[in-house]
Structure 1
Amino acid sequence: MRITPAERRRLLGHRHLLAPRERAGLVEDVAETLVGLHATDAASVVLSARARVREPSPADVDRALYEDRTLLRMHCMRRTLFVVPTDLVPVFHHSTSEAIAKRERAVLLKHLAATGPARNDRWLNNAERAALEALTRLGEAGAVELTAEVPALQETIVLSPGKPYQATQRVGGWVLRLLAMEGRIRRGRPLGGWTSNQFRYSVAPEMPAMDPAEARTELVRRWLACYGPGTVDDLAWWTGWPNGQVREALGRIATTEAELAEGTGLVLADGRIEETLAQEDAAPWAAFLPGLDPATMGWKHRDWYVDPAHRPLLYDSAGNGGPTVWWNGEIVGAWAQRADGEIAWRLLSDRGAEARAAVEAGAAALQEWLAHYRMVARFPAPLTKELTA
C-alpha cells in the first residue's frame, strides 16, 4: 500500500476531527479519539477541543474535568501533561506514567541525598505520607496551601549547584508531581480560570491493575487508529518509549505496511484507511490550533504537513509547536492573541483566495470567541513572538 502526503492530509482532517462533517459532540469524544489532549499549557486543552466540537465552550471542558470527572489531567507520554479519558487512565498509567514515576523518584532522591544523609528514601516516604494525610484531611488543596500544612514540603533542594543557572526549589512541588505520576493524587480545578496552570490536588482512587505490555499494546493500537499511517520512529517519539517496547507492542497488533514519503509506515489492518480514502473529499477547512495541539505534535516526521523551511518559525528550539493556522491538513501559518485581544496571524504558504478567505473568517470567529479571555502561549514559537511584538 502506498499513501501519499496529500492522502495523509485528507486522513488527518477526518481522523483528527477537523473536517467540519467530522466534528464531535463532546470534549470527551475528542480526548478519546485523539488519545489525549496536550495539557502542559492549560489553554491548549480548551482550544484543541474548540477546533473539534460542534458547539465549543470552556464550560464543557470544565464540566468534563471537574464536575463529571470523565477526563483527567496526568503526566504520561514524554513526561508531558495530557488530558485523557478517565476510563483509560490505567492504560496511560501502566504503559507510560509508571516508568516515568520511577525515574522521577530516582532523580528526586539524588537531589535529596546531596543535601545530607538524612534525606533518604525513608525521609521521602514520610514526607509523602504526611502530604497524603493532609490532603485527606483538607479534601482538596493547592500546592501553596498543602506546603504550609506539611513542614517537610517546605524543605529545599539545589539544582545544578555551582552552575550559572543554579536554582533552589522547595521539595513540595517535586513531591506533589511524583505522587501524581504514581497515581496517588490527582489534579483538580485550577486556582485561576481555564488558562491557569496552577491546580488543586486531591487523593486519587486506587489505580486498577493492568499488565504493562497489554497497556502499551492498547495505546499503540489507539495511536494507529487516529494517527496512522506512521513509522516506528513516530511512535517511539510520541510515546517516549524505547524502540524495543514499541516493536513489541506492534507485534501484538494486526498491521499492514504502508509506503510513505519518509519510508515504511504502518496502518491497522482493519481496512478503515482504505474506506476513508475512498470517500468523497471533505469540504475544504481551515483551523486555528493552539500550541502543542495533537495535530501539530503527533509525529516525529512532519514534512508531509509542514514545509521544512517553515518549521524554525513554527516550533521552538525544543520542538514545541506554537499556535498554528491550518488549511486542508497542512500548516500554512501561525497566529497569536495580542494584549488587546486581537487575533494576529500570518500565512507562510499561499493556497489561494478560498484559503485566505476561510482563514480570515476563522480569525474573526476566534477573536469573538476569546473576547473575554486573554491567553499567552506558554511555549511561543519564533513567529508567535513576532506576531505579539
Structure 2
Amino acid sequence: MPLLITDEQRRSRLGHRHLLRAADRAATVPQVADALAGLHSTDAATVYLSVCARLAEPSAEAVDRALYEEVSLVKLLSMRRTIFAVTEEFAPYVNSSTAKAIAVKERATLLKHLREGAEGWDEARLAETERDALAALAARGQATTSQLAEDLPALRETILMNPGKSYGGHQSIGSRLLRLLASDGHVRRCRPRGSWLSSSYAWAPVPQLPDVPVREAKAEVARRWLAAFGPATEADLKWWTGWTLGDTRKALADLAAVQVRLADGTVGLVLPGDEETPDPTGPWAALLPGLDPTTMGWRGRDWYLDPAHVPALYDRAGNAGPTVWWNGRIIGGWAQRPDGELVHRLFTDPGTEARTAIEAEATRLASWLGPVRVTPRFRTPLERELVS
C-alpha cells in the first residue's frame, strides 16, 4: 500500500521548501524563483512581495536587478496563460513546454481580431509589421509602444474589439503586436517608468531562447513543480500548467512519479526518493501577496485553506488576494491602507505565539516597503473591506 503523507506533513514541507520559515529564507532572487518553480507576474507587485517575503534581507532593488539589469529572471506568458518570472536557466523549458503553444494561440487570436475589426490586415501584413517593429526596436535599443509607433504608423491603427457589444471598443494594434512579440520570445519588458508598481515600461529585443524538445521540457517543468509542490495530485499539475490530461500524464510517467496516499483519500504524487524526506518543523508566519505562488500552487486547497474562507480571499475568477499564514495554513488576510498602515484580519484566534509572529512579519514587510503603497491588481472582498 502506498505511503500515507498527512496534511501536517504537507504543511511542514510547504514551509521549508517554499522558504517561508525564517531559517530557510534565501540569499538571492533566483533562489526564490527556483524554489517555487516560477513567480506569478501578472501583477507587477506580486514578484517583489513574493520574493521579499522569502529573502533573508528583503530588497526591492535586488528584484529590480534580477529583472532588468542581470536579467536572471525571464518573464514568459506560460502556465495557465498567465505571466511567470522564471530563472534564465529554467526559461527554455517553460518556453518549449508551454509558452510556444500559447504564442501560437495568441497569434491566431490577434489575426482573427484584425480580420474582424481592422481594415487591410491579414497574415502577411502582420508578419511584415512584426519584422519592421523588431528592426525599429533594434535600432532604438529600447522603446515604448508609443515611441515605436512614431517610426511605424501601422502601430497607431486600432482594432474594434467585440463589435456591436456594449463592452466593445478600440484597442491599439501596437499594444497587441508587442504583446505577441513578447509571447513569441522576441522582446522583453524593461524597467518600469516610475516605481516598481508602474505599468508604464519600454520594450527591448532579446536573443531567442535555446530550443528544448517538448517532451523533455514538459518532464522538467513537472519535475521542478513536484519538487516544490509535492505531494500533489495529477489534477493539481494539470491545473497549474494548463496542459491537457494526456500531456500531464505523459510528463509524470517520464518522471516515474511515485504514488502516495493523501489524508483525504486521494492519490498524491512525489518524485522518486521523496516519499519520506523529513522536512524541518517549527512555527512560522507569513504575509503573502495576491497571486503568490504558494497560495496559487494547487487546485485542491482544503489541506491549507478552509473552504468557508475562499469567498473572502479569492475573486470570482479564482485570483487570490493577500493572505496571512500560520504553520502552513491560511488563517486570514491583509491589506495596506492609503496611509501606508498594514492591517490584517484573522478568521480564528491562533494563540499568542501566532499573533506575535504575524505582527513581526507585518513589521518586517512595512520596513522594506517604506513609502510604497500597494493595491492588488485583482481586488478581493476581504482586501477591499480592510482598506475601506
Contact 2:118 2:159 in 1 (8 A): no
- TM-score of the aligned structures, taking structure 2 as reference length: 0.96
Q: Deviations over 1:129-186 (max 9, x none)?
A: 1110110011011222223322111111112111111121011111111111111112
**1:187·1:199 contact (CA, 8 Å) conserved in 2?**
yes
Cα deviation, 1:267-318, whole Å, max 9, x if unaligned, reads 00123x51224x5x23x11101011000010000011111100011001000
Counterparts of 1:335 and 1:83 in 2: how far apart (Å)? Answer: 24
Equivalent residue for 1:126? 128
2:117 touches 2:163 (CA, 8 Å); kept in 1? no
The superposition leaves residues 172-213 of structure 1 with CA deviations (integer Å, 9 ceiling, x where unpaired) of 111111111111112221122111233221111022111011
| Alignment map for 1:261-276 (pairs within 5 Å) | 261=264, 263-271=266-274, 273-276=275-278
Is 1:97 aligned to 2:99, yes or no? yes
**Aligned residue type for 2:347:** L
Query: Matches of residues 1-389 of structure 1 in structure 2 within 5 Å?
Result: 1-115=3-117, 118-260=120-262, 261=264, 263-271=266-274, 273-277=275-279, 279=280, 281-282=281-282, 284-389=283-388
Aligned residues of 1:262 and 1:301 also touching (Cα < 8 A): no
- Rounded to whole Å, the distance in 2 between the matches of 1:356 and 1:121 is 59
State the TM-score, normalizing by the size of structure 1. 0.96
Query: Where in structure 1 are there 5+ consecutive unaligned residues?
Result: none
Bigger Cα displacement from structure 2, 70-79 vs 297-306 = 70-79
1:42–1:197 CA contact under 8 A, matched in 2: yes
Residue 371 of structure 1: CA displacement?
2.0
Query: CA deviation digits over 1:320-374, x for unaligned, max 9?
Result: 0001111011111111111000001101122111111211222222223222211
Whole-Å separation in 2 of the counterparts to 1:27 and 1:7? 27
Contact 1:66 1:188 in 2 (8 A): yes
Coordinate RMSD, CA, aligned: 1.3
User: Does structure 1 conserve the Cα–Cα contact (< 8 Å) formed by 2:50 and 2:289?
Assistant: yes
Inter-CA distance 117–157: structure 2 relative to 1 (3 Å threshold): closer
Q: Structure 2 stretches of 5 or more lacking a match?
A: none
AA matched with 2:106: E
Q: How many residues align?
A: 385
Q: Distance in 2 between matches of 1:35 and 1:113?
A: 38
Is the partner of 1:320 in helix, strand or coil? Answer: coil
| Aligned counterparts of 2:180 and 2:378: Cα–Cα separation in 1 | 23
Q: Is the 8 A contact 1:190 1:198 kept in 2?
A: yes
Percent identity (aligned): 50
The answer as to whether partners of 2:118 and 2:160 remain within 8 angstroms in 1 is: no
Q: Is the 8 A contact 2:58 2:368 kept in 1?
A: no
Question: Which stretch has the larger CA shift, 78-87 or 287-296?
Answer: 78-87
CA shift, 1:3, in A, is 1.2
Q: Find the residue that maps to 1:309 and give its secondary structure.
A: helix
Query: Whole-Å Cα distance in 1 between the matches of residues 361 and 99 of structure 2?
Result: 37
> 165-174 or 99-108: which moved more?
165-174
Give SS of 1:162's match.
coil
- Contact 1:322 / 1:377 at 8 angstroms: preserved in 2? yes
Q: 2:134 is paired with a residue of what secondary structure?
A: helix
Structure 1 ranges of 4+ moved more than 3 A: none
SS in 2 for 1:266: strand
Which deviates more from structure 2 when the two are superposed, residues 73-82 or residues 306-315?
73-82
Q: CA deviation at 1:118?
A: 2.8
Equivalent position SS for 1:82: strand
Post-superposition shift, 1:34? 0.7
Alpha carbons of structure 1 residues 117 and 372: separation in structure 2 relative to 1, 3 Å? closer
The answer as to whether partners of 1:74 and 1:187 remain within 8 angstroms in 2 is no
**Secondary structure at the residue paired with 1:306?**
coil
Structure 1 counterpart of 2:32, which letter? V
Question: Shift of the alpha carbon at 1:217?
Answer: 0.6
